[in-house]
Amino acid sequence: MTKDLHGATFLTEDKQNDVNQALESYRDVIFVYLFTFVNFFSKYQIITIREKEINKTIDYNTRKLRLFTTCLLQRNSSKISLQLDEQLLEMKCKTDQTIDALKKREHDFKQKQEQFHRQVQQFQKYVLESEQKRQLKNQQIDEEKKQLHAKQKMIEEKQKEQEDIKTQSKTLVEELKSLRQYQNYLTEVAQSTESQYSTVDDVLQRYCILQETRSSLIESNNKKQEHVEIYSKKFHKFLKDKQNWHVFAVHEILWQELLVKNITLAQCLKSFDEITKESHTIEENLHKFQNENNETVDFSFLLLKIFLKNESWIL
């Protein structure tokens, strides 16, 4: 655990490595306990299987002895019965010994089982405690990381504010420098024109007056330009209206002339129809005259006479 400049605590790399090694050792211990549990459970299964086999052999031997004794009793052989009794006693002693050994082994197994249960409970308790410790460590690490992140963010904000203050100070220094130069210039102007301006304030007052007059002149000039634009728009509109009126008048004159021409054209067409009718009648009369008198007449000459007769239409 170390502290930074602002007092925030955080884990070092060595401390983090120690925590990781402790977690790995917890994993190794868990693996060892699981291996011992599996080994013990397998031995317990082997012992139970052996006990079952021994019980089967005992039952088989007892049945066999019973059959054998019944056979011997039927033969009424006292000698064989004594031997059988001895054998039965020996077998009984052996079975008693095996039963005692099995009971002892069962008792030992129960003790080991109880011990194993206690160890399992202790191990579970140890695992729970280690898990709680690990969670607490992780929470502490997360909180320390959050604090460190907040401190870094605050440092960045302070650095940004410091840079802003530096830039503002630079701009203020430059403005002060320019104002000093301007002040020096005004003092030089006041000294060079002592007859007109005695102090720097008089120069500034004169400058303000000139600035106001300049702005008023610019404003009046803009107003005049606006008036000129308005009058120019009106003049252009007047010219356009005048031009449109002239075009309309010319159009009216042309329309009247066109009507007159149309009337004359209709009259000419009417006279042309009359002339064509007269020419047709003359041709018919000529054909009649040729048929009657058998004389040739120049048709073109007759047409010429017709046109000369109606030369007013041509004009």
Residue 10 in 3-state DSSP? strand
7 dihedral zone (left: phi>0; alpha: psi -120 to 50; beta): left
> What is the model's pLDDT at position 119?
85
In this prediction, residue 27 carries a pLDDT of: 59
Q: Which of 42, 37, 50 is nearest to 105 (CA)?
A: 50
Place of tokens 């959050």: 146
What token pair was written down for 280? 């047709």
Report the C-alpha gap between 241 and 283 in whole angstroms: 62
Instruction: Write b or e for each residue in 275-303: b if 16 or more Cβ atoms lie within 10 A of its Cβ, otherwise e.
Output: eeeeeeeeeeeeeeeeeeeeeeeeeeeee
How do the domains of the chain map onto residue ranges?
A: 2-164
Residue 10: its pLDDT value, please? 46
The model's pTM: 0.31
Q: What is the mean pLDDT of each run of 10 residues along the chain (315 residues)?
A: 46 59 59 60 60 70 68 59 73 82 85 86 86 88 91 91 90 85 74 68 70 73 71 67 58 67 68 62 54 45 47 41
Note the pLDDT of residue 112.
Answer: 86
Per-residue burial over 127-142, b if 16 or more Cβ lie within 10 Å, else e, is eeebeeeeeebeeeee
Q: Is the dihedral of CA 194, 195, 198, 203 positive or negative?
A: negative
Reduce the DSSP state of residue 2 to 3 states and report it: strand
d(CA 309, CA 314): 10
**Rounded to whole angstroms, what are the CA distances from 56 to 50, 52, 62, 252?**
10, 6, 10, 144
Per-residue pLDDT at 303 = 45
